[in-house]
Structure 1
Amino acid sequence: MAILYGVLRGRPDRFKREDNASTPHLQIRVLEDGGQPWRIAVNVQSNTGSHVAFWVVDPLVGHPVLASLEGRSQGFTTLAANAGGALDYVKAPLFDLALGRVLPPTGAASADDLQDLLSLFLEQCKAAGGEIFAFGAKFEQNLHKPIDMEFGNTDGLHGIHDIHMNQGNVGQHAGDNGVFHDGGLILKFPDRLMGLFLAFQSQRVPTDAAGNAATGALAIEQILGGGGPTLPPPLVSTIYIERALINPSGADPGLETVVLGNLAATSQTLSHWRLLDKNGRATPIDATLAPGASLIVALDGRGVQLGNNGGNLILQDDTNAQVDVVTYTAEDAGSDNRYVRFRR
């Protein structure tokens, strides 16, 4: 996915609706403290005319990306593709995909569409003296749009778009797929963080290691209960990531461990399975778990490493399909010589 991905930090200033465009956006103007304006273009409808799915997480807590926000400079910062700073709805989840909702892009009343909802939260953030962290792709060419001149973005390059999930696309948009390149808005209020996340209903989950729709993936529209006949839910593995010793006493290599659990009432054999960390390092797993038992996977330092600044862990089966995923924070890693139970 050849985009200049990163995060824009600034203060929300004003917003402009698009109610008549074929692919409408909510246009958001943000300012750096020095006065530099930026434009954030947020899709509120797909180019096929379907409604955009959205998730509101308030408060947003317990995710490794949050610890990196305070140290970000104002303006745009490029991000590495990992759980320490970038967003990935599938490989480092911030919310339950099944809890999404949809609203039309525009409506006749004052509080009946997606632009109304987003504007409400942005106005609240502005009134509280808050900040916005917008994740997405930086403008790389000047398209000479009138909205840029209106917002003071005179070179057309001070802006960001793709403020939505950027994986699980099929058809003409499959080339946009990637990992740890998802967009979204995080609003910083004086007392909390709020997450606003968006996706097109045609996008599919789960995704594979490249961000493409995995075999058997469902469209988000189907997960949310729309899109024709009800489909059976995807099979859920009985093997899951239970807990980990992230910060053992002494040198970490060889002492860190991850514990897998077996929910089945039968033995489960894991052959050619593996764990992946936020940097893509892998630890192979070949073992059999007794009914209801746990398996301690020792990390020798050559594969998976549990960073003290937080991260994620992905469990893959012998086809490299994602079986389970968890995230942990720097606060979790601060538990010295104690196992951390992962949040669900």
Structure 2
Amino acid sequence: MPIEDYGVWKAKPVRFTYETDEEDHVSPHLSLFFTTSDNSRGESRAAINIKSGDKSDSRLAFWLVKNFENFQNERLRELKPGFHRLEGAEQGPNGLALDYIRGNLFRRETGRLLPHDVPGPDNDILDELIPVLDGAIANDSIIYIFGSRFGSGSGSGIHDIHMNQGSPRRWRRDNGVYQDGGILLDFGDHWTGVFIGFASQAVHTDSEGQPSPPHGYLTWNDILNPEIPREQRRKRDISDRPVQISEAVISPDMVTLTNHTDGAVQLHGWSVRDTKGDSDYLPDATLPPGRRQSFQLSGCALPREGGIITLLNDRGLKVDGVRYTAAQTRPGGQIVSF
């Protein structure tokens, strides 16, 4: 079943502690303490996983988006400080809930596969998280923490601040869509996004958040593991997403697709999905190797205020996805490059 009491907590980060490998080798956490604007509830705690509980591979998949351009940022700013449960329409394509796969939050190839705590600089999850949180506290930023609320009063907090779908074995019970955790930081002049997954989680999931296809699925380890030769990882990545969205035109709505392989790609049964979840099937075209082609959209819309564009193959699996903001569009038909 999906995780309970999913939502977003708007607050001010004030301090944090973390457990090293020596202190907790099994299930260490970074504890981020935060307050609301009136400090009426005292400090609450965000329990952030810094190691996977999967003994077969305990590394984390980590994405840091330093300039996170999100068409929902202004809606987040309008929220009052405190916890906001996200359900119904907010837990869907056009809502505030996070979904690592359907929300096009980051380019997946920019992620890193990181261990918990090892000697040396810039080589583990603590090396990544500590500078981000130090900067957020020093700059008095507003933080938006997505996850599952626990407790009440002064003992309240939030956990599951990571990808909550595509998990194998005993963690399958928590899988679901539009319920992923994460951290967004508003520095005033820019936003930063922090997204955490587990190496063993699936890159594709079905409508219930379960690994798709159910057997032999691709994991974050398969495409981010630095121990796998780069060319091998690149071949897996291109094989999984041979075509990418390279441009879009806002009014009239069009998308330009580029074939990054050395072979022709048949687009029969492929579709484009918009922010609202509406789809438009592409014509039965063949995209030659290394070529790009533009397609007019009629069944889905690309709003000027920003949104997401997702390309799906004939099995309904995500091939590529992008997001854009109102600042990237203007009247008269704006070409947005990705």
Tell me the alpha carbon deviations over residues 175-214 of structure 1, each in whole angstroms, 9 at most, x when there is no partner: 3222332211122224432222211111121334443323
**1:134 and 1:185 in contact (8 A); partners too:** yes
The one of 73, 76, 79 aligned to 1:69:
76
How do 1:38-49 and structure 2 match up within 5 A?
38-49=44-55
Question: Among the aligned pairs, what percent are the same residue?
Answer: 32
Length-normalised TM-score, structure 2: 0.80
Q: Partner of 1:124: helix, strand, or coil?
A: helix
Match status 1:217 vs 2:217: yes
Q: Tell me how far 1:122 sits from its aligned partner.
A: 1.8
Between the aligned partners of 2:122 and 2:236, the Cα distance in structure 1 is 33
Q: Tell me how far 1:73 sits from its aligned partner.
A: 1.8
- 1:294 counterpart residue number: 293
Between the aligned partners of 2:218 and 2:93, the Cα distance in structure 1 is 24
Between the aligned partners of 1:290 and 1:241, the Cα distance in structure 2 is 13
Q: Partner of 2:283: helix, strand, or coil?
A: strand
- 1:194 counterpart residue number: 192
Tell me the alpha carbon deviations over residues 109-155 of structure 1, each in whole angstroms, 9 at most, x when there is no partner: 9998534642332222212222211111222x56xxxxxxxxxx43x
Q: Which runs of 5+ in 1 are unaligned?
A: 143-152, 249-254
Tell me the alpha carbon deviations over residues 245-271 of structure 1, each in whole angstroms, 9 at most, x when there is no partner: 32x3xxxxxx53444455678765433
Q: Partner of 1:286: helix, strand, or coil?
A: coil
How do 1:271-310 and structure 2 match up within 5 A?
271-289=268-286, 291=288, 292=291, 294-299=293-298, 303-310=299-306
**2:113 and 2:225 in contact (8 A); partners too:** no
Match status 1:54 vs 2:62: yes
- 2:320 counterpart residue number: 324
- 1:233 counterpart residue number: 236
AA at the equivalent of 1:218: L
**1:86 and 1:182 in contact (8 A); partners too:** yes
Between the aligned partners of 1:290 and 1:318, the Cα distance in structure 2 is 15
Q: Which moved more, 1:271-280 or 1:260-269?
A: 260-269
- 1:6 counterpart residue number: 7
Q: Tell me how far 1:74 sits from its aligned partner.
A: 1.0
Tell me the alpha carbon deviations over residues 6-64 of structure 1, each in whole angstroms, 9 at most, x when there is no partner: 21111111223234443221111111111023221100112235132322222x23333
How do 1:19-38 and structure 2 match up within 5 A?
19=20, 20-21=23-24, 22-35=26-39, 36=41, 37-38=43-44
Q: Partner of 2:4: helix, strand, or coil?
A: coil
The one of 249, 253, 277 aligned to 1:245:
249
How do 1:57-136 and structure 2 match up within 5 A?
57-58=65-66, 60-79=67-86, 80=90, 81-82=92-93, 85-106=96-117, 114-115=125-126, 117-136=128-147
The one of 310, 330, 335 aligned to 1:335:
330
Q: Partner of 2:162: helix, strand, or coil?
A: coil
Tell me the alpha carbon deviations over residues 246-303 of structure 1, each in whole angstroms, 9 at most, x when there is no partner: 2x3xxxxxx534444556787654333222222222223333246435242331xxx4
**1:25 and 1:42 in contact (8 A); partners too:** yes
Between the aligned partners of 1:298 and 1:180, the Cα distance in structure 2 is 25
Tell me the alpha carbon deviations over residues 298-336 of structure 1, each in whole angstroms, 9 at most, x when there is no partner: 31xxx422233322122212211222212111223x421
Judged with a 3 Å threshold, the aligned counterparts in structure 2 of structure 1 residues 24 and 265 are, in CA distance, closer, same or farther, namely closer
**1:326 and 1:342 in contact (8 A); partners too:** no
Judged with a 3 Å threshold, the aligned counterparts in structure 2 of structure 1 residues 237 and 44 are, in CA distance, closer, same or farther, namely closer
AA at the equivalent of 2:46: I
Paired positions, count: 318
**2:3 and 2:148 in contact (8 A); partners too:** no
Judged with a 3 Å threshold, the aligned counterparts in structure 2 of structure 1 residues 211 and 65 are, in CA distance, closer, same or farther, namely farther
AA at the equivalent of 1:167: Q
Length-normalised TM-score, structure 1: 0.79
